[in-house]
Structure 1
Amino acid sequence: MAEFSIREMSSEDIKQVMKVDVASFTTPWTYEIYEQEVNHNKHAHYFVIEESENIIGYVGLWIVEEDAQITNIALLPQFRGYKIGEKLFGFAMQYAIQQGANRLSLEVRVSNIVAQKLYIKFGLVPGGIRKGYYPDNGEDALVMWVNLH
């Protein structure tokens, strides 16, 4: 298997990250949203995962005091199913712990069973439903969370 590296996202990465977004989500973020998150949001922490200097995925989280929330996580479709997402999610969890977070939460589509199984592997449990959360089709989001300590 190829070598993968994870590093902090920079402004120069946004266009490649947007390609991952377009391949992964029906309502991808705009360049402006990423630019705001990477350069101006003091609570935002974004990381890319690379193979041979090509960005194949990313993860973003907000850390506010003791609470961390995954804002988004995605891999290019051809890299799914090889436990790369596990590596990326595990990195984000460890980073949150290192930054002093006590809790981690996220929203996931109720239909995205593959992602839910990944999160369960890391100890996240269902905490509620956000009705009509996803604007593309009105699908509900399952809120999942875990205590980090």
Structure 2
Amino acid sequence: MIDIEICPLKAEHIDSVVAINNLSFPTPWSRESLEKEIEDNTIAKYVVAKKFNIVIGYAGIWCILDEGHITNIAIHPEYRGIGAGSLLLETLIEICKIEFITSMTLEVRKSNLIAQNLYKKYGFVQEGIRKAYYADNKEDAIIMWKHNI
């Protein structure tokens, strides 16, 4: 983990983020959606993880009043399991502290136990289910919250 750098997502990272997005999600966000997030969405904060100056992952959060809603965390498949996801999530938590966010939330696929375990490691707990949330296969989403940031 020592050689992983976290920095703000910039336009120059979009190609890498799009590639990671396409490798990570059954229904990935479009390039246009990602560009609008970093250019136009004033409540959005995005960061990338880089190893040897190669973008290996990214994460985003929407800061709405006193809540943070994690939009995405994704790591390139070749770099999973080396701690980049943890570093990105720690960075989102730090952003929330800076922004005076008191609670964080997210939705995660019911089948994505690896992600659920990462969130639990950082104090997130399951507080609900969104039935048939994901359009691609109608899979349920687990709603997780972390309070008292």
TM-score band, normalised by shorter chain: over 0.9
Q: Which residue of 1 aligns with 2:65?
A: 65
* Local SS of the residue matching 2:123: coil
Give the drift of 1:54.
0.8
Alignment of 1:1-149 (within 5 A): 3-149=3-149
Letter in 1 for 2:83: K
For residues 96-132 of structure 1, what are the alpha-carbon distances to aligned partners after superposition, in whole Å with 9 as ceiling and x for unaligned? 1111100000000001111111100100000100111
In the aligned structure 1, how far is the partner of 2:2 from the partner of 2:99?
29
Contact 1:8 1:46 in 2 (8 A): yes
In the aligned structure 1, how far is the partner of 2:5 from the partner of 2:107?
26
Give the drift of 1:87.
1.2
In the aligned structure 2, how far is the partner of 1:53 from the partner of 1:106?
29
Give the drift of 1:2.
6.0
Contact 2:6 2:87 in 1 (8 A): no
Q: CA RMSD in A?
A: 1.1
Contact 1:2 1:51 in 2 (8 A): no
Percent sequence identity is: 39
Letter in 1 for 2:142: L
* Local SS of the residue matching 1:104: strand
- State which drifts further: 7-16 or 63-72: 7-16
After TM superposition, which residue ranges in structure 1, 4 or more long, deviate above 3 angstroms?
A: none
* Local SS of the residue matching 1:82: coil
User: 5+ unaligned residues in a row in structure 2: which ranges?
Assistant: none
In the aligned structure 2, how far is the partner of 1:4 from the partner of 1:82?
9
Provide the aligned length of Structure 1 versus Structure 2.
149
Give the drift of 1:144.
0.1
Contact 1:105 1:146 in 2 (8 A): yes
Give the drift of 1:70.
0.3
In the aligned structure 2, how far is the partner of 1:82 from the partner of 1:131?
32
